[in-house]
Structure 1
C-alpha cells in the first residue's frame, strides 16, 4: 500500500504536532504498547495511528515514509463523514469504517467519543483477523483516553 506525500498534500497536512493532553506519561506508554501489540499480532499491518476526533495526532506506529499528522487528520475526517452518513441512513452510531483500495486496506475504528484508531494494511491482510485483534485494542484505547475527557 502506498500513501504518497502528494496524496497527503492534496488533503492538507496535520498540525505537525501531537496533541498535548493532561494524560500522564503512563497513558502515552499504554497507547504505544497497544500499537506495538497490534504490529506483532496483525499480519500485513503497515502501521497504525491514534487520532483525536478533531484530527490531531495522539500516537502512531507508522513507517517514516507516511506522514503521521496527515494520516491523523484524514482519519478524523473519514470518521466524521462516516458518522454523519450512518446517522442519516441508519439512524445509528458507527463503530468502524473499512476502505479497500485493491492494494491494501484502511480500517478506522471509533475509540470512544474523543478518539479513533486507523490501521493501514497490505492487500494480503485478512480483515477478520484485523477486526479480531483490533477491537479489544480499540476498547482499551478508549478506556485509556476516557479520563482526560472527564477532567
Structure 2
C-alpha cells in the first residue's frame, strides 16, 4: 500500500511534508491504514455503504480487509462484484475528497461522498447491479428526490 502517496508514504520516500495529520479528523496519521480503515470520517461512510449494500458486520482492521470484504459471507458472484465495485468506488472518492480538502481547502461531507458513491457505482459497475445486493432503484436518483442508505 506504499504506492498511495499519503504523507506517511511520502515520508518513507524521503519527502518532508509539514502537516502529517489526517485532514478529515486531525487525530490520526495521513496513512492508508488510517484514511481507509480507522478514520471516523471514513468509518461513517463505510457504515452507510454497509447498510446500502446490505453487508452486515462491515468491520475492517486494514485496507486489505476492506478490499476483500466482498469475499465474506455467502453471496452470488454478481453480488460479490457489485460490492467490490462499490468499495473501489468509495475508496477512490474518499481519496479525491482527501486531496480536495488537503490541497484546496474544500471539505466534503460523508453524505456528499455517499451520494457520489451511489451515482458513480451505477455508472461504472452497471452490469454487476442487475439482480445484485444493491437495488437498482437506490442507484438511480430522480431529480428532486432523496435516497436513504437503507432504501
Q: Same fold (TM over 0.5)?
A: no
Normalized per residue, the structure richer in strand is 1
Tell which has more relative contact order, 1 or 2 (C-alpha 8 A, sep 6+). 1
What's the TM-score once normalised by structure 1's chain length? 0.30
Higher helix share: 2
Q: Which has the larger radius of gyration?
A: 2
